[in-house]
Chain A
Amino acid sequence: MFEDLRDLYQEVIFDHNRNPRNFRVMDNADRQVEGFNPLCGDRLTLFLKMNGDMIEDASFQGSGCAISTASVSLMTEIVKGKTEAEAEALFKTFHEMTTGKEEHINLEAVGKLAVLAGVREYPARVKCATLAWHTLDAALKNEQQSISTE
């Protein structure tokens, strides 16, 4: 049952969906941006605590599908301790991985995020995976308004 879906719904994704990491309001956040996918109603608020140009802490609130929840949960884990430039570079690689534009993605470069590579076979679900990263991008550029995938 669901053999075809194992590339998309890996156990790591179920784990992060059931127990999202960094799922909390951050009272002393320096940056706070809302991300919204009007097509499916996924909605999240991303909080960042900066230390110079380094992301000291990241957390989120919101609700969405398993793919979007796992994506934002994994993202908050991986960007902690990264500089803005490093996070932006990761976003670029992640975007290429999920939209399938690059044939040979260096999956090692994205670490744990590789579990989301399967989404590229499901065009209708790519935005679920990238919503978190578009929201991070807006936060790093210090755009305070909410962002939308549409």
Chain B
Amino acid sequence: MNYPIEQIRADFPILAEKIRNKPLVYLDNAATCQKPQAVIDSIVKCYSHDYANIHRGVHTLSVRATDQFEAARDKVKTFINAASEKEIIFVRGATEAINLVAQTYGKSNVQAGDEIVITAMEHHANIVPWQMLCEQTGAVLKVIPMTTKGELIEGEFEKLLNDKTKLVAITQMSNALGTINPVKAMIAVAHAKNIPVLVDGAQAIPHIAVDVQDLDCDFYVFSGHKLYAPAGVGVLYGKQALLEAMPPYQGGGDMIRTVTFEKTTYAGLPHKFEAGTPAIADVIGLGAAIDYITAIGMDAIAAHEHELLVYATEQAQQIKELHIIGEAEHKGAILSFVLDKIHPHDIGTMLDSLGIAVRAGHHCAMPVMDFYHVPATARASFAMYNTKAEVDVLMKGIRDLIAMFG
């Protein structure tokens, strides 16, 4: 079956926007991606017909909102193939999910002298929470090194694991380089030494079909807004036994069973980790996004994006002043690059004047920039709705700005 690109593009109203009188070419999807009408409609419907606070009210609206909220949890469970809906915790995003694990699982299990292992290509969100935990506990952060192609160095990972290693936290796909890491094999290596693994799926989730039971990861985190869902909602998946043993993250309403001034008992999973009123409509919107993606099919989306990446890479390689940053064998739809003598911020402003949105900066991965000795890169990142024609517009823009700089 042909990939229904025209229909998909028609489903995203923002793609009809004109930017500086030019058709929008949106290539900043790794930062956040646009929303299909089905997701926008789900939010409007929620606030227009079905909105009330969840889990408490006996009135009809509260029941409706609760049913839809919990239905979204079930959709997430199916989407990542978790064993139970109790393993799906709604949070604000991948960043909050990682902080939650660091401050609950981490604080309960990590002591002075212990070690936490991450990779050289992490987003700040999978570095800083662990550094904070290390400062609090006296633990040490260890970093799996990478090659100049942007691949983890084989064998170095296993060497870092020892009796002191309490957790491995690795990205499935690098936001700055596009590298897809062999997380399933790495999890098996860590598990052979009884070390749990957290996978940061923020970047991978819209591009790769994820099966947490097949990966056998202990924690998996992602943000909704990179998965065509509203911003402000994300997911922490954790194996049930681990989540049950962890203390709560925040205290408040909805996470308790009973409260007296002497003693509080906590609610069971998943509510133990969901204090306070959540982003109800946004969670329902995440459910709508999953429905939308599932109808198209993750495999079809992945194949389309791979084709775009291969095409964009071939085109980019024709430009002699352009250098691709991140040339891993196994890569997601991200093209990070620098141009000779032209700073990424100038690239960003110039492409914007042509209606092209790319990211210019350190991509919240300053250690990656240091590794490549660049202050920043320009990054084009693709989503299910991008086309080869848009790649052509990008490449023409790059050639023209090189000519203008002279």
Contacts and interface: CB of A to CB of B under 8 A. Distances in A.
25 contacts: A2-B354, A2-B404, A4-B353, A5-B350, A9-B350, A14-B404, A14-B405, A18-B406, A40-B343, A40-B345, A40-B360, A40-B375, A40-B376, A41-B361, A41-B362, A41-B376, A64-B343, A65-B343, A65-B345, A66-B342, A66-B346, A66-B405, A122-B349, A124-B349, A128-B345
B369 interface: yes
B400 to A, nearest CB: 5
Interface of B: 20, 341-346, 349-350, 353-354, 360-362, 369, 375-376, 400-401, 404-406
B401 A2 contact: yes
Given A5-B350, A14-B404, 4 more contacts: A1-B400, A41-B375, A65-B345, A67-B345
Interface residues of A, number: 23
Interface of A: 1-2, 4-5, 8-9, 14, 17-18, 39-43, 63-67, 122, 124-125, 128
B323 to A, nearest CB: 16
A14 B361 contact: no
Given A14-B406, A66-B343, A8 B349 contact: yes
The DSSP consensus for interface residues of chain B is: mixed
Contacts of B350: 2, 5, 9
A63 B349 contact: no
A41 B369 contact: yes
A9 B345 contact: no
B26 to A, nearest CB: 17
Pairs of residues from A and B, 8 with the lowest C-beta to C-beta distance, nearest first: A41-B375, A65-B343, A65-B345, A4-B353, A41-B376, A5-B353, A1-B400, A40-B345
Nearest to A41: B375
Nearest to A18: B406
A2 B346 contact: no
Nearest to A66: B346
A40 B361 contact: yes
B205 to A, nearest CB: 27
